[in-house]
Amino acid sequence: MIEQAVSRKQSANAIRALSMDAVQKAKSGHPGAPMGMADIAQVLWCDFLKHNPGDPNWFNRDRFVLSNGHGSMLIYSLLHLTGYDLSNEDLQQFRQFDSKTPGHPEYGYTPGVETTTGPLGQGLANGVGMAIAEKTLAAQFNRDGHEVIDHNTYVFAGDGCLMEGISHEVCSLAGTLGLGKLIVFYDDNGISIDGEVEQWFADDTGKRFEAYGWQVLSVDGHDPEAISDGIKQGINERARPTLISCKTIIGFGSPNKSGKSSSHGSPLGDEEISLVRKKLKWPHTPFEIPDDILKTWRKIGEKGITLEKKWISVLNKKNSKIKKKLDLIQNNLNLKSLDSLINAEKEKFFKEKPSKATRECSSMTIEVVTKLLPEIIGGSADLSGSNNTKTKNSKVISSKDFNGNYIHYGIREHGMAAAMNGLALYGGLIPYGGTFLIFSDYCKPSIRLSALMGLKVIYIFSHDSIGLGEDGPTHQPIEQLAGLRAIPNLNVFRPADMNETLECWQVALKSKNTPSAIALSRQKLPYINPSHTKENKSELGAYIINTTAQNNSVTLIASGSEVELALQAQKDLKEINIDSKVISMPCQELFNQQSISYKNEIIDKDVPVITIEASCVNSWEKYSKNNMGVETFGESAPFKEVYQHFNLTSAKIVELAKKIIKK
């Protein structure tokens, strides 16, 4: 408990003062939420939160997520006060270029920030992923009364988070899985940017969460004892996640702007801040924290040193195998053997030359790599059989048994993608999850955030083109590949056969700071790799498969299922004495990163180029003016007929080649 020499009110007011001062200095920001939630934060961080400012990455720390990330000064104030590497000067650089205190919390910028938040609902969804991670690893590592993995995940969320559809997806899943160590504080202040939310958000939120299977509590968000009792009830409830609905006043302490939308997203103004200081009895200058208050906060932070030492002692009592296993997954040490494993599989399949859909190839790869990498945790949005994401090595996680490695997310694509970010952020786990490529649109905001944060998350997108045939235009992706390729720091793979699928998975698993999207075919594709080599050619983004002469008349570039078309066109061109080169480009992003000399080696500047991909051509225009693709919505028919309809045939490639060569 906090020392009585400094009251809870004084400690909470330190948060309010820092928050309003930083927003005022920056001339932009959101003072209302930090001022309204200061009392909740003070109780949680002072009395319950298990963390160590000296070691922000302590594995068994409680996770704290500020989902309503616009209130970023709340977490920055807490981190500074408890002793993280975040100085008073850093607070004064709030929202400034290259500061540790950006406008919304950003993972990797500020020690102690667990995830990037701002798009509402995302942090809540990340928290669900973190809670799944905790429960999964606890089931694997906790033995004989030694709790190696044992902590809570706390999330602050506003009504904006709960309005977003993603909150329904993940909170329903959390209730179904019985995530008892997930505690969410709902900042029920009744205000959003446009005013009083009762005009557009009249849900009975409590009943909604009860229907999900949550424990629901209601407290006065400015009553420390009530808040404390609520947290205790949440901690004691282990069968269900807990929602603590906290009735608060936005902009608490502001005589003229509290309880109003004017305190939500704008500085209070110098005059109003002076009035706040008088009302809160805070006579101190901007950014000044009295020594007694700061010392009290710092003592709270120092408790984490003892807590971590105690945890290390418990860990040391475990047998050496458990310790080694935890070290392996924490540091991804199992990856050291990945290259030799992948090479052995490549060699085997070169001999067999299987003709398979790349979704099947991906499934075969997953089955192999999960034997080597127990930290892999998979799943699908109700398409396990279609994505081929569930293998013989998959053990499904359920509320009754969390000692598994596969999650049935249900039809919750957005929630799945965001929860995977939480799994990756937790540490020690490599998540992958599957759906159809067309439904990547439902995942896009979370994919963007995984790229922004540089997370090792692997998205499996099967049924990657008009090649899925009879399901028709609602399910045939056209613009999705181009849209994914437009996201910075995302590798988009589209392998052409078993060999490339193995290589793309190899790159994705070894990637440190880049998520991966792997687009896979529904239809069978031939094995196209001309020779076995240990080299991962897909790692270079593009490579030459075959060339019919030293000096070719045309270059054909394709990805995925269209590489087969390019190779057939090459044969047909040869029959009419036209030499050509075929390039497979499984990953544009990786090819774009290669040296100029390698790019020139692969794509001859002076030779006409044709690109072929069964999608819109936007992302291919940097390589050629002659791009064969699909510029309208698809059609419902057997896939060969659909390809014919869209002129994606060898004959049409030959026709275009003859035309551009004559030019």
Neighbours of 398 (CB within 10 A): 13
User: In the block, which residue shows the tokens 């003072």?
Assistant: 31
What is the end-to-end Cα distance of the chain in Å, rounded?
82
For residue 482, the one-letter residue type is A
φ, ψ (nearest 5 deg) of residue 492: -105, 115
Q: What is the distance between the alpha carbons of residues 224 and 508, in angstroms, rounded to a whole number?
A: 47
No. of helices (H) and no. of strands (E), the chain: 24, 18
Distance CA 401, CA 377 (A): 15
| CA quadruple 212, 414, 57, 30: dihedral, nearest 10 | -90
- Residue count of the chain: 663
**Three-state DSSP class for 634?**
coil
Q: For the sheet with 215-220, list strands across it.
A: 63-66, 153-158, 182-188, 242-247, 215-220
CA-wise closest residue to 141 among 391, 374, 420: 374
Question: What is the phi/psi pair of residue 589, to 5°?
Answer: -60, -45
Gyration radius (Cα) of the chain, Å: 28
DSSP result, 344-360 = HHHHHHHHH---B-HHH
Exposure of 447 in the CB half-sphere (CA atoms within 13 A): 30
Residue 659, Cβ neighbours under 10 Å: how many? 12
Kindly name the residue from 272, 413, 500, 503 that is annotated as catalytic.
Answer: 413
* 171 contacts: CB under 8 Å, gap ≥ 6: 124, 128, 209, 212, 214, 241
Considering only CA atoms, which of 481, 476, 561 is closest in space to residue 521? Answer: 561
CA 246 – CA 81 distance, rounded (Å): 23
Three-class SS state of 496: coil
For residue 384, the Cα-to-chain-centroid distance in whole angstroms is 20
Give the β-pairing of 609-612 and 554-558. parallel
Backbone CA torsion sign across 372, 374, 377, 379: positive
For the question of residue 613 being annotated catalytic, the response is: no
The Cα 326–Cα 57 span in angstroms is: 15
Label residue 331 exposed, middle or buried (CB < 10 Å: 0-12, 13-18, 19+): exposed
Q: Which residue numbers are catalytic?
A: 413
